[in-house]
């Protein structure tokens, strides 16, 4: 639960486009988001003024807070962008109502991280039919006609990265039949299902399986509760993957309270605290796999280019791609110092 290293993939390297550098729960104060270098990047040159409507769920979670902060900061780096955020409300219905009002204001482009991609799919279709391109962020619309561009993290790839880290670690320790736990996020979300599927597939290449799986809610308190349940179910454990670093705060609290240290843990998303814990090497957390909220910064940059009918400087094509999936990287003690400044 997003800062760009080599994360913008999907058939394209976006090294010359505006990329993100801020992932903080606080309002960014130092955000050199646009990569202007020596001024040779044509995408940075001012163009037609573009009004970008933006909506994301309330910032009750560190990753979501960083999504909104990054989008706002990125928009502020462009003199030709008018940023028009609208409240997302408490659920998909409230977000839909706010977005309906936004359509009447006729922004040039809408960047939307929906409460639920399936439930907001109809809005995407309506906006597109009204001639307003939609950049679908993170939680995917199932219908390709509901968006002009979709940018999201590689949820399946997160699971794969976590599975390979654990698989290699178990092989290195000569543990033939490891006991592996999993603490997922919200099971009703497709992204959670994709993460678990990738984890299962990667573990299978080593002949390993998940012994016990629990689903939390991407929060510290639910992470703590489900970790307590997992620890009780597995009196001995060799490894565990926790899908989300924010809920990982609660997971680590439960681990400490239970005085358990016989296993290693892998986190998910790349929060600053998780990276610092990995660097200090004083807890069971030994790695985290990235899912950067900087995708919101990139979504704003893409929306601007779409609104100006421009393509991306590194590509031959004249238009922004239809879909972009960001790679998931593995942060360990060996590279934590490089990544800590990118944590949210």
pLDDT value for 44:
83
CA dist., res. 100 & res. 285, Å (int) = 43
- Confidence at 37, pLDDT banded by 50, 70, 90: very low
Q: Which two tokens stand for residue 96?
A: 């839909």
Indicate whether 15 pLDDT > 70: no
Give the pLDDT confidence of 83-97 residue by residue, as tens digits: 999 999 889 999 999
CATH code of domain 155-290: 3.40.50.2300
Instruction: Specify the higher pLDDT residue, 179 or 340.
Output: 179
Q: How far is CA 116 from the centre of its chain?
A: 15
Give the pLDDT confidence of 161-212 residue by residue, as tens digits: 999 999 999 999 999 999 999 999 999 988 899 999 999 999 999 999 999 9
Give the pLDDT confidence of 216-258 residue by residue, as tens digits: 999 999 999 999 999 999 999 999 999 999 999 999 999 999 9
CATH superfamily name and code, 42-153+293-326:
Response regulator (3.40.50.2300)
Same fold, 42-153+293-326 and 155-290: yes
- Confidence at 21, pLDDT banded by 50, 70, 90: very low
Indicate whether 113 pLDDT > 50: yes
pLDDT value for 6:
33
Indicate whether 2 pLDDT > 90: no
pLDDT value for 343:
86
- Confidence at 35, pLDDT banded by 50, 70, 90: very low
Across the chain, mean pLDDT equals 88
The pTM (predicted TM-score) of the whole model is 0.79
HEC profile for the chain? Answer: CCCCCCCECCCCCCCCCCCCCCCCCCCCCCCCCCCCCCCCCHHHCCCCCEEEEEECCCCCCHHHHHHHHHHHHHHHCCCCEEEEECCCCCCHHHHHHHHHHHHHCCCCEEEECCCCHHHHHHHHHHHHHCCCCEEEECCCCCCHHHCCEEEEECHHHHHHHHHHHHHHHHHHCCCCCCCEEEEECCCCCHHHHHHHHHHHHHHHCCCCCEEEEEECCCCHHHHHHHHHHHHHHCCCCCEEEECCHHHHHHHHHHHHHCCCCCCEEEEEECCHHHHHHHHHCCCCEEEEEECCCCHHHHHHHHHHHHHCCCCCCCCCCCCCCCEEEECCCEEECCCHHHHHHHCC
Of residues 129, 54, 30, 56, the one with CA closest to residue 301: 54
Give the pLDDT confidence of 288-299 residue by residue, as tens digits: 999 989 899 999
pLDDT value for 40:
66
Q: What are the backbone angles phi and psi of residue 220, rounded to the nearest 5°?
A: -65, -40
Domain boundaries, the chain: 42-153+293-326, 155-290
CA dist., res. 147 & res. 251, Å (int) = 36
């Amino acid at each position: 639960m997003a800062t760009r290293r080599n994360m913008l993939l999907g058939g394209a390297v976006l090294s010359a486009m505006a990329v993100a550098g801020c992932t903080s729960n606080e309002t960014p104060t130092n955000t050199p988001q646009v990569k202007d270098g020596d001024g040779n990047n044509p995408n940075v040159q001012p163009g037609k003024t573009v009004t970008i409507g933006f909506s994301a769920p309330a910032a009750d979670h560190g990753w979501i807070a960083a999504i909104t902060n990054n989008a706002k900061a990125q928009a502020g780096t462009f003199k030709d962008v008018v940023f028009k955020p609208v409240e997302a409300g408490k659920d998909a219905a409230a977000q839909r109502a706010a977005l309906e009002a936004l359509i009447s204001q006729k922004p040039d482009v809408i960047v939307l991280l929906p409460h639920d991609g399936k439930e907001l799919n109809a809005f995407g279709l309506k906006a597109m039919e009204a001639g307003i391109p939609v950049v679908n962020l993170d939680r995917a619309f199932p219908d390709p006609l509901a968006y002009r561009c979709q940018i999201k993290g590689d949820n399946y790839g997160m699971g794969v990265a976590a599975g390979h880290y654990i698989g290699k670690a178990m092989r290195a320790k000569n543990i033939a039949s490891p006991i592996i736990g999993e603490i997922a996020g919200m099971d009703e979300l497709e992204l959670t299902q994709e993460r678990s599927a990738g984890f299962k597939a990667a573990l299978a290449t080593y002949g390993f399986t998940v012994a016990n799986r629990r689903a939390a809610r991407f929060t510290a308190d639910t992470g703590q509760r489900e970790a307590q349940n997992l620890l009780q179910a597995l009196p001995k454990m060799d490894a565990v993957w926790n899908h989300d670093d924010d809920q990982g705060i609660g997971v680590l609290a439960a681990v400490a309270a239970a005085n358990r240290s016989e296993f290693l843990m892998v986190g998910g998303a790349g929060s600053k605290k998780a990276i610092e814990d990995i660097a200090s090497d004083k807890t069971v957390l030994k790695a985290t796999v990235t899912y950067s909220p900087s995708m919101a910064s990139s979504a704003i940059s893409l929306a601007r280019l779409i609104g100006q009918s421009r393509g991306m400087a590194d590509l031959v094509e004249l238009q922004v791609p239809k879909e972009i999936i960001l790679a998931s990287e593995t942060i360990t003690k060996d590279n934590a110092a490089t990544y800590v400044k990118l944590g949210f």
